Amino acid sequence: MNIKRHWGTINELILPAALNSYSIVFFLNNRLFAIGMIVLSFFNFYAGLSGLIATMTAVLIANTMGFDKIQLRQGLYSFNALLIGLGMGTFFDPGFVYFSLLFLAVLLTLILSVTLGGWLGKYGLPHLSIPFVIGFWLIVLPSSSFENLGLTQRNIYWINEAYSVGGSNLVNFLQSIDSLTINKLSDTYLRSLSSIFFQNNLLSGLLISVLLLISSRIAFTLSIIGFLTAYFFASFTGSATAGFSYYNIGANYIMTALAVGGFFVIPSKKSYLWTILLVPLTSLVLLFMTKLFNGIQLPVFSLPFSVVVIYFIYFLMLRRNPAGLILTPIQNYSPESNLYSYANNKIRLAQLLYYPLHLPFWGEWIVSQGHNGQYTHKGEWGKAFDFMLLDEEMKSFTGNGTRCEQYHCYNKPILAPADGVVEEIIDGIEDNDIGKSDLLNNWGNTITIRHLPGLYTQLSHLRKDSFKVAVGDHVKCGDILANCGNSGRSPQPHLHFQVQASPKPGTKTISYPFSYYLGAGSNGKKLFSFALPVEGEIISGVRTDNLLKRAFDLSPGTLLKFRYTDQSGLEHFNKWEAFTDAYNNSYLYCDTTNSSAYYVNDGNMLYFTTFYGSKNSLLYYFYLTAFKVLLGHYENLEIVDQLPLNTLPNRNGMIWINDFIAPFANRVKAKYSMLQTGSDDPYQPQSLTLTSKIDLSIFGKTRKACSGTILLDNNRIEKFTFLHNKIKIEATCISSSS
């Protein structure tokens, strides 16, 4: 048990923390990249070794001392230790004294990382590699007094080193690569990249650039942009002799480009432009610092990059209207993921800000006057709706229309648009004769309801003595409040609805959308989400269904167990549990694959927001299949949505190409759609089949990516299937509990 627990910690915390320390240096969170970097670091054996020792030491100490596991896991506490390990291993000879010093340096870097992180973190700023720079300074200056610590010349005679590791074969191989005749520009670029790990050879540079390309097209592009800008700026100003070393370009300019162009900022045209502007700026800071610190014999290392980036992020943060240049809201440690999930969330999740309001009536009503209407919705009272009922001939009444009772909407029940408390009721005002308005009692019989502090709805022109609720009552969404009437400024029966910030009837209006409603689509009904209906639109509310609601009730603590066979016929068991994180976001978690799928269930719709983890997991297939589920039973009503491209099943060549241009123009779209295809009862189904598919539109060409079905029965998700290329999954629920 104990061993198992330790193994769990190692597998889920220590190992990822150590690996991420290597990739986070390049602002990535990618195992392949990390492993590549570890291998590469051992090209200089002792540097690699002390880098690894430093990283592990920092991770283990941070874990033992109980620092934040999430930050630890991302490698945020330990990547500076890695840098100091690599740096010291490069410049000093190994020995007992050396390793003791290394340990002290790691401890110091960890303390600096935590404290600087804590201080800057309050402002939402990163500490970058400042702990490494300070830590290294504290070693470099005193080091001349430590007689037992020898400066090494290994990095000068690195061929000897290579010989001792791999014999003449390796030496020959390395030399043949290093002496490759490639043009000056590429040579400088590759060596600059390798210098980030304190090396100076083409092979490392080549490896890093290939790894960058595989891990992130945007990061790769940015590294080239950063390098070229620095290169040309140096040639242009003639500063090449002063500040032009591989390390300066690699660590300062390329890293600035990666940080500003695609990591802290959502990659875009503007972020690329700022990259081109900031690299020369970094160059100025670098030259200034070099001159300044030379006097006291301190190398500036990556200090200029850190300072410029931290200041720039803070600069961006203080904007009031951050249009165009967006600071990454949720860090996915991949420029592509940041870009695609941001672009997707911007469209899909804007609605999360709104409290869901529903239409306050049953049946299909027409918006007889919308926002800023031509009759009475003017100025501060402009964001209101008037609703009426029309018949097939688009008439609002039968007979000659001279009596209120002849109007279709008259006396119809008016419902609470959302849960709340009744704040005020005005009652006792008689209905007007048709064509007359009561300007004295403008709103007529009216009710206002408080839904949230600062969110009130007002419903007016109701019928006298029809109120079913009283002031102070708690009402539930859909409860009958009163009946539609013709009181107040109302020449013919209609319902006036507005959202306002205070409880008093008739205060100024707020533009606020209805959460879900059905309107006319190109063929049949269409679902509108968080939209403002417009004048003339005929709309009706969405009715939820108990089966769908119960089956997709994934409240925290819900356990779902599935049995499934994969394409090779092997049977697997899988268990998911629903959790809520510190920010009150719900997610399904699969501990076998360490995957989580975040979702929102607002009572009317269940939709996934993002997925982290293994793309070979059952949870991932479920995420794709049940990406968006309407919790109401409607046949022939297509639910559509867009998937974030970073969570697509396979990212083929065309999507790779799209990655390069996506910051400017995204040409790939993943369209999700779902239909309810089979039910045993049109009103209260006990069994229901949902069919979904994802279509990819790549540079204008559409093709089917994957499809799936979900069978609901026994008030749970009984079965689901997923089909993608050769993957064919059929999963059966073996137990569900909440």
Residue whose tokens read 């108990």: 546
Token pair of 130 as six digits: 């400042």
d(CA 372, CA 384): 7
Q: Min. distance of Cβ 468 from another protein in angstroms? A: 9
d(CA 722, CA 731): 9
How many of the chain's residues bind another protein (CB under 8 A)? 27
d(CA 82, CA 89): 10
Among 101, 409, 418, 447, binds another protein (CB under 8 A): 409
Considering beta carbons, is residue 315 or 683 the nearer one to another protein?
Answer: 683
**Residues near 637 by beta carbon (within 8 Å), at least 6 away in sequence:** 518, 524, 525, 526, 527, 630, 675, 676
Q: Is 683 in the site for another protein (CB under 8 A)?
A: yes
**Residues near 543 by beta carbon (within 8 Å), at least 6 away in sequence:** 632, 633
d(CA 534, CA 367): 7
Q: Which among 35-43, 52-60, 361-369, 443-451 is the span making contact with another protein, rule CB under 8 A?
A: 361-369
Among 543, 561, 671, 724, binds another protein (CB under 8 A): 543
Residue list 480-519, contact with another protein (CB under 8 A): 480
Considering beta carbons, is residue 382 or 413 the nearer one to another protein?
Answer: 413
d(CA 123, CA 482): 50
Q: Which among 105-113, 230-238, 407-415, 520-528 is the span making contact with another protein, rule CB under 8 A?
A: 407-415
Q: Is 391 in the site for another protein (CB under 8 A)?
A: yes
Q: Min. distance of Cβ 709 from another protein in angstroms? A: 20
Token pair of 386 as six digits: 């008037």
Crossing angle of the two packed helices 303-317 and 269-294, in degrees rounded to 10: 140
d(CA 81, CA 99): 13
Q: Is 408 in the site for another protein (CB under 8 A)?
A: yes
Q: Residue 411 gets which letter from DSSP?
A: T
Q: Which among 331-339, 386-394, 576-584, 694-702 is the span making contact with another protein, rule CB under 8 A?
A: 386-394
Bridge partner residues of 673 (DSSP): 640, 693
Token pair of 476 as six digits: 């539930």
Q: Min. distance of Cβ 679 from another protein in angstroms? A: 9
Q: Min. distance of Cβ 412 from another protein in angstroms? A: 5
Considering beta carbons, is residue 300 or 388 the nearer one to another protein?
Answer: 388
Q: Is 413 in the site for another protein (CB under 8 A)?
A: yes
Q: Is 719 in the site for another protein (CB under 8 A)?
A: no
> Which of 318, 235, 218, 317 minimizes the C-alpha distance to 275?
218
Among 472, 569, 682, 700, binds another protein (CB under 8 A): 682
Among 145, 179, 380, 392, binds another protein (CB under 8 A): 392
Q: Is 546 in the site for another protein (CB under 8 A)?
A: yes
Q: Min. distance of Cβ 402 from another protein in angstroms? A: 16
- For residues 394, 399, 401, 403, the Cα torsion angle rounded to the nearest 10 degrees is -140
Among 269, 395, 476, 728, binds another protein (CB under 8 A): 476
Q: Is 412 in the site for another protein (CB under 8 A)?
A: yes
Considering beta carbons, is residue 121 or 519 the nearer one to another protein?
Answer: 519
Considering beta carbons, is residue 491 or 603 the nearer one to another protein?
Answer: 603
Q: Is 544 in the site for another protein (CB under 8 A)?
A: yes
Pairing of strands 586-590, 571-580: antiparallel
d(CA 537, CA 101): 75
Q: Min. distance of Cβ 553 from another protein in angstroms? A: 13
- Interface contacts to another protein, rule CB under 8 A: 361-365, 389, 391-393, 408-409, 411-413, 476, 478-480, 543-544, 546, 549, 680-684
